[in-house]
Structure 1
Amino acid sequence: MRVNHERLHQRMAEERLDAVVSTTAENLTYLTGIDSVHLGMFPHSGRAFAVLSQDTRAGAVFVCGRCEVDQFLDADEPIREAVAYGPFFREVPEEAALGPQDELLREVSWDTRFDTALSALAHAIRSTCPGGGRVGVDEEGVPADFLEALAKELSGWQIVPAAQHLRWVRQVKTPQELERIAAAAAVAENAIRATVAITEQGVTERELVREFNRSVAAQGGVPKFTLIRIGANAVAGQRRPTGTPLQRGQAIWFDVGAVVGGYWCDIARVCTLGEPDTRLARLYDAVLAGEQQALDAARPGMSGHQLFDLTVDSVRAAGIPHYRRNHVGHGIGVEVYDPVLIRPGSTGELEPGTVVNIETPYYEFGFGCVHVEDPFVVGSDGNRLLTTLPRDLIVLP
């Protein structure tokens, strides 16, 4: 199973929660495996929920608009009940022979008790913990007035914020999650390989971006950010790709992310057409040394700021004495930035099963960027890299 039920049950017991409610697309995916079409299309106004009791393995109540209620059939975690709200029509001719899944969908579709997301969610909470209780609701996916209205609707229940609790649960990945993160990373790595394969003098940033996105989509992923810049353009890496043509001796900077099966990848590499100049190679070696030090030294119990300090110090010692950063990594999973954040002041601690996306970019006007980034899982007996693409500077003949 993807859900870390032991941690979820532990946190619910510690916080005396009788139920938890997801409101964001990421937490819905984590608790059910459902990639909500509605939340993807309408991230600010869409409403879809998963409600779990203290018996977290018993399955969630999935609440969504009637149009997308068919998605409960795609869940890869148990669904105890599917509750639909709002208008939508699926007709059943008298002569239609329904299979088992169509019959399940018909039953849910024709339950027209609930007109609004609020009334449907209130029903789900009542059925999950009848008689009242303390309910943790992820406050990040709904506006404050929705939570206020929910509290009025459920006068015998206490509604408390729970986003931080769900993030804490998600910090330690299950074996299935580790497989999915590695699989997502492999998609990005394959797409980098495909993009490098079309690299030649005169190729433009737009063509490189198009090839990367094509490869991700062909592998079943969804590109989320494709930052590929040539030479000095990489200092402004968040800008749109341009028609800048690649010249021999120039570098190509990749900082690319995608979602595959509900899980994020976030990988960085640098490629040069022909032998790199001495300074570029030296700077790349320095940022790679910092990443390697983080891979070697990260351990359970280390705080995010401790890992930040030793990584930055390693880059400085390896050849960039003025190196500075706002962060050098983050957790990754159903969100691109899961706990722990690797930045100054971060008190969150690494645990066995925490996945760290470590990165050591260096940006400079007139030069561009050198950057390497990879996910690794923290272990009690050593850390394990979740990528296979070589981390050395990629040099094309």
Structure 2
Amino acid sequence: MQPSYNKRLDKLRERIKKAEIDTLLVSDARNIFYLSGSNGGYTGAKVMLIVDANTSTLIIDKRYLAETMESAVVDTITAWTEPSYGDIVALLKGSGVKKVGFESTHVTVKQYERLVKEFDAIQLVGVAGLIEPVREVKDRHEITKITDAAAIGDTTFDYITGILRPGMTEIEISIEIDFFMRKHGAERPSFDTIVASGIHSAVPHATPSSKKIEVGDFVTLDFGAVVDGYHSDMTRTVVIGRASGKQKDIYAKVLEAQIAALDAVVPGKVCRDLDAVARDIIAEAGYGENFVHSLGHGVGLDVHEAPTLAKGNEAMLAEAMVVTVEPGIYINGFGGVRIEDLVVVTRSGREVLTLSTKDLLEL
């Protein structure tokens, strides 16, 4: 199944009209890919998508023109003639455009200064959040790609737990994860793979180090794959050797909180309330100060996107959103546990895409 770029553009045009602008300049690579199918921006090429009430035009570095002609679904594709925004002004001249919006959160100060210089006769308006909210609700094509990416994650977890042994370094394990994912269909990892062992596992976003895995260590594995631009994200925590009583207790409490939060996922659920489901369980166990991040986040073309399942977020979940559910407990000088699943919000509840076991593995 191919995405319907026309439907996506129609939704954007409704938002452009409400923003009271004539035309939108789309410069963010992921937004361009979402609206046109062109991945030119990911290559580092200079690319811009121009969307108005009736047409869509893609301007790209001429070195990527042939590839873009094959993949992009837009009305017009053209190449830059000079390293400036003069090409855009030339396209808009005589069209009656008076107010042009640009993605204020994706434009540097330098780019803004160049835009102002070129658009001296046209009013420029910085706009934010026109496209990203549309991306929050996924279509069937997107959910299929995210599901495929999640499946690579599950296969990778099976592989890595089969080779984990004392003496391996965190860096070595992260390399094994990344290589296995690439070998089995991933374009690239979703993010810098996290492998954190022993007391290092008390750092939620630890960077893999030369530390060697030891018997008795918690080992947290947080990784994801990218398939056709779409990300997955999963976390599992295992123990090397026999788990201690304290390790079992902490793991059981995180798992209880995670399952309770999963069971509470439903369309219309307020994000802060979902966060509270897991947070209250962990707090009641005496570890409230040790749950130091939000419950989860949206996943799609970005591995971290809206909605955020956080204490202060009053947004509501909607059918076809894809989010993570990942509570954790982190104790300095001891270690930490995080369990993360990728979830699709369905009409009546949720579908969990991460299928790897959540039993405490003692390897």
TM-score, scaled relative to structure 1: 0.81
Note the C-alpha offset of 1:240: 4.0
Note the C-alpha offset of 1:372: 0.9
Which residue of the partner structure matches residue 312 of structure 2? Answer: 345
Which residue of the partner structure matches residue 46 of structure 2? Answer: 47
Q: Secondary structure at the match of 2:234?
A: strand
Note the C-alpha offset of 1:204: 2.1
Deviations 1:81-135 (A, max 9, x none): 22212xxxxxxxxxxxxxxxxxxxxxxxxxxxx21241233345559xx211443
Query: Partners in 2 of 1:198 and 1:243 — Cα distance?
Result: 17
- How is 1:87-166 mapped onto 2 (pairs within 5 angstroms)? 114-125=81-92, 130-151=95-116, 153-154=118-119, 157-166=122-131
Task: Indicate how the Cα distance of structure 1 residues 299 and 159 shifts in structure 2: closer, same or farther if over 3 A, else same.
Answer: farther
Query: Partners in 1 of 2:196 and 2:4 — Cα distance?
Result: 36
Note the C-alpha offset of 1:173: 1.0
Task: Indicate how the Cα distance of structure 1 residues 352 and 238 shifts in structure 2: closer, same or farther if over 3 A, else same.
Answer: closer
Task: Indicate how the Cα distance of structure 1 residues 206 and 23 shifts in structure 2: closer, same or farther if over 3 A, else same.
Answer: same
- How is 1:37-76 mapped onto 2 (pairs within 5 angstroms)? 39-41=42-44, 47-55=46-54, 60-75=56-71
Q: Secondary structure at the match of 1:395?
A: coil
Q: How much is the aligned-residue C-alpha RMSD, in angstroms? A: 2.6
- How is 1:296-311 mapped onto 2 (pairs within 5 angstroms)? 296-311=263-278
Note the C-alpha offset of 1:246: 2.4
Query: Partners in 2 of 1:188 and 1:125 — Cα distance?
Result: 46
Query: Partners in 2 of 1:177 and 1:269 — Cα distance?
Result: 24
- Contact 2:269/2:317 (8 A) holds in 1: yes
The aligned amino acid for 1:355 is: V
Query: Partners in 2 of 1:214 and 1:325 — Cα distance?
Result: 30
- Contact 1:63/1:84 (8 A) holds in 2: yes
- Contact 1:17/1:54 (8 A) holds in 2: no
Between 375-384 and 153-162, the greater mean CA deviation after superposition: 153-162
Query: Partners in 1 of 2:117 and 2:84 — Cα distance?
Result: 14
Q: Secondary structure at the match of 1:225?
A: coil
- How is 1:1-397 mapped onto 2 (pairs within 5 angstroms)? 1=3, 3=5, 5=8, 7-36=11-40, 39-41=42-44, 47-55=46-54, 60-75=56-71, 78-85=73-80, 114-125=81-92, 130-151=95-116, 153-154=118-119, 157-218=122-183, 219-223=185-189, 224-236=191-203, 238-317=205-284, 320=287, 322-396=289-363
Note the C-alpha offset of 1:370: 0.3
Task: Indicate how the Cα distance of structure 1 residues 303 and 54 shifts in structure 2: closer, same or farther if over 3 A, else same.
Answer: farther
The aligned amino acid for 1:193 is: D
Query: Partners in 1 of 2:62 and 2:137 — Cα distance?
Result: 34
Query: Partners in 2 of 1:50 and 1:278 — Cα distance?
Result: 57
Q: Secondary structure at the match of 2:314?
A: coil
Q: Secondary structure at the match of 2:131?
A: helix
Note the C-alpha offset of 1:271: 1.7
Query: Partners in 1 of 2:261 and 2:91 — Cα distance?
Result: 45
Q: Secondary structure at the match of 2:253?
A: helix
Q: Secondary structure at the match of 1:276?
A: coil
Q: Secondary structure at the match of 1:366?
A: coil
Q: Which runs of 5+ in 2 are unaligned?
A: none
- Contact 1:72/1:79 (8 A) holds in 2: no
Deviations 1:337-382 (A, max 9, x none): 2111122222322222221112112211122210011221222311
- Contact 2:38/2:73 (8 A) holds in 1: no
Query: Partners in 2 of 1:238 and 1:305 — Cα distance?
Result: 22
Q: Secondary structure at the match of 2:362?
A: strand
- Contact 2:21/2:100 (8 A) holds in 1: yes
Task: Indicate how the Cα distance of structure 1 residues 289 and 352 shifts in structure 2: closer, same or farther if over 3 A, else same.
Answer: same
Query: Partners in 2 of 1:200 and 1:71 — Cα distance?
Result: 45
Q: Which runs of 5+ in 1 are unaligned?
A: 86-113
Task: Indicate how the Cα distance of structure 1 residues 322 and 229 shifts in structure 2: closer, same or farther if over 3 A, else same.
Answer: closer
The aligned amino acid for 1:221 is: E
- Contact 2:201/2:218 (8 A) holds in 1: no
The aligned amino acid for 2:61 is: G
Query: Partners in 1 of 2:302 and 2:335 — Cα distance?
Result: 28
Q: Secondary structure at the match of 1:191?
A: helix
Task: Indicate how the Cα distance of structure 1 residues 259 and 116 shifts in structure 2: closer, same or farther if over 3 A, else same.
Answer: same
Note the C-alpha offset of 1:40: 4.5
The aligned amino acid for 1:65 is: D
Note the C-alpha offset of 1:24: 1.5
Query: Partners in 2 of 1:152 and 1:297 — Cα distance?
Result: 52
Between 289-298 and 146-155, the greater mean CA deviation after superposition: 146-155
- Contact 2:267/2:348 (8 A) holds in 1: no
- Contact 1:232/1:369 (8 A) holds in 2: yes
